[in-house]
């Protein structure tokens, strides 16, 4: 499947590289306002093809996105000193208002995959601007947070993360919800597995894992200025699910009709992902505390999205 990546910075280029290494795309086209950078990134990634999968990697213009099955949106502006979150959202909304119509003009059947932060609000913005069925506008959401949760749980249990099933829901951000009540390992509740392995989970362990998931991005950004590898891998995984019509269950974000009574809000829940985007959504069984936290996360995101609605209505 042909994939377009709009935004050839660290996240876009790393996602393209991950697609080459995993074989999730047959062709990747990088588009960026900085054409020289897009060309350099494409050439650099193409040099890894002999070590991975036979993927065509090139840079181009919006016209070169024709025929793409997925268009990954990683473009956006950085927050300026003294700039409010709302001001940043409004500027990124203007970026999307320019990008999305240009991309869909040549690839009207593509699924939009949003990675630009704040990703949940930007997914809602993309859904509004594009006019596409909301199941075809997917945000990377908490796919990375879920991976972090599983990795930290697995490390505590001494097993591979592939044997741990646990989800992070809601916002990709501070209000996200780690669903401990449904966490499983080796087919049993995680507390039972931990006890059987002689590694019981204490409240301190839970707090440490929660903090490790919730604050991971802050530590990485403090150390190197940005995150890229984890989210690049997550974007490649979503692309693979679409390309292969896998019906894989992944925690990603779309604009929902309602979540726990909060209407018209984009956030992450477990989604069945296939060729046409999100095919189904599963609402997990939650503890009372988790349900309250998820509703609060939805309210936070709804407030942020509402703050930019007027911008969209006036044509950005």
Interatomic CA distance for residues 72 and 243, integer angstroms: 13
Interatomic CA distance for residues 312 and 114, integer angstroms: 17
Task: Out of 47, 53, 59, 172, pick the active-site residue.
Answer: 172
Report whether pLDDT(153) > 80: yes
The b-or-e profile of 188-199 (16+ CB within 10 A means b, else e) is eebeebbeeeee
Question: What average pLDDT does range 84-88 have in this prediction?
Answer: 70
Interatomic CA distance for residues 142 and 216, integer angstroms: 13
Interatomic CA distance for residues 46 and 119, integer angstroms: 28
pLDDT of residue 86: 67
Question: What average pLDDT does range 192-208 have in this prediction?
Answer: 96
Active site (annotated) includes residue 59: no
- Which positions ≥6 away from 48 have C-beta within 8 Å? 17, 20, 21
Interatomic CA distance for residues 157 and 201, integer angstroms: 9
pLDDT of residue 314: 47
- Band of pLDDT at residue 311, cut at 50, 70 and 90: low
- Which positions ≥6 away from 39 have C-beta within 8 Å? 59
Query: 123: closest CA among 73, 194, 63, 162?
Result: 73
Interatomic CA distance for residues 30 and 112, integer angstroms: 15
Q: Contact, 59 vs 8, CB < 8 A?
A: yes
Chain centre distance of CA 242: 14
Q: Contact, 58 vs 35, CB < 8 A?
A: no
Question: What average pLDDT does range 15-41 have in this prediction?
Answer: 97
Q: Contact, 3 vs 27, CB < 8 A?
A: yes
What pLDDT, in 10s, does the model give residues 246-264? 999 999 999 999 999 999 9
Q: Look up the pTM and report it.
A: 0.95
């Amino acid at each position: 499947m042909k994939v377009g990546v709009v935004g050839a910075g660290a996240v876009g280029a790393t996602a393209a590289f991950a697609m080459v290494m995993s074989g999730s795309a047959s062709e990747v086209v990088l588009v960026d306002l900085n054409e020289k950078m897009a060309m350099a990134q494409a050439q650099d990634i193409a040099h890894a093809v002999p070590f991975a999968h036979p993927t065509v990697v090139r840079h181009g213009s919006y016209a070169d996105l024709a025929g793409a099955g997925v268009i990954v949106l990683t473009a956006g502006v950085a927050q300026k000193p003294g700039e409010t979150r709302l001001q940043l959202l409004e500027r990124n909304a203007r970026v999307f208002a320019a990008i999305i119509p240009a991309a869909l003009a040549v690839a009207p059947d593509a699924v939009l995959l949003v990675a630009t932060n704040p990703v949940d609000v930007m997914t809602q913005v993309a859904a509004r601007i594009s006019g596409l069925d909301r199941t075809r506008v997917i945000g990377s959401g908490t796919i990375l947070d879920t991976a972090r949760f599983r990795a930290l749980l697995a490390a505590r249990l001494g097993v591979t993360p592939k044997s741990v099933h646990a989800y992070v829901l809601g916002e990709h951000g501070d209000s996200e919800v780690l669903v401990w009540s449904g966490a499983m390992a080796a087919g049993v509740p995680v507390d039972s597995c931990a006890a059987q392995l002689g590694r019981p989970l204490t409240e301190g362990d839970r707090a440490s894992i929660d903090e490790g998931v919730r604050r991971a991005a802050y530590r990485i950004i403090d150390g190197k200025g940005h995150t890229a590898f984890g989210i690049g891998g997550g974007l490649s995984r979503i692309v693979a699910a679409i390309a292969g019509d896998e019906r894989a269950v992944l925690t990603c974000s779309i604009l929902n009709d309602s979540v726990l009574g909060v209407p018209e809000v984009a956030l992450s829940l477990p989604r069945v992902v296939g060729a046409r985007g999100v095919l189904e959504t599963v609402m997990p069984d939650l503890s009372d505390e988790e349900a309250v936290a998820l509703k609060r996360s939805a309210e936070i995101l709804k407030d942020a999205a509402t703050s930019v609605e007027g911008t969209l209505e006036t044509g950005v």
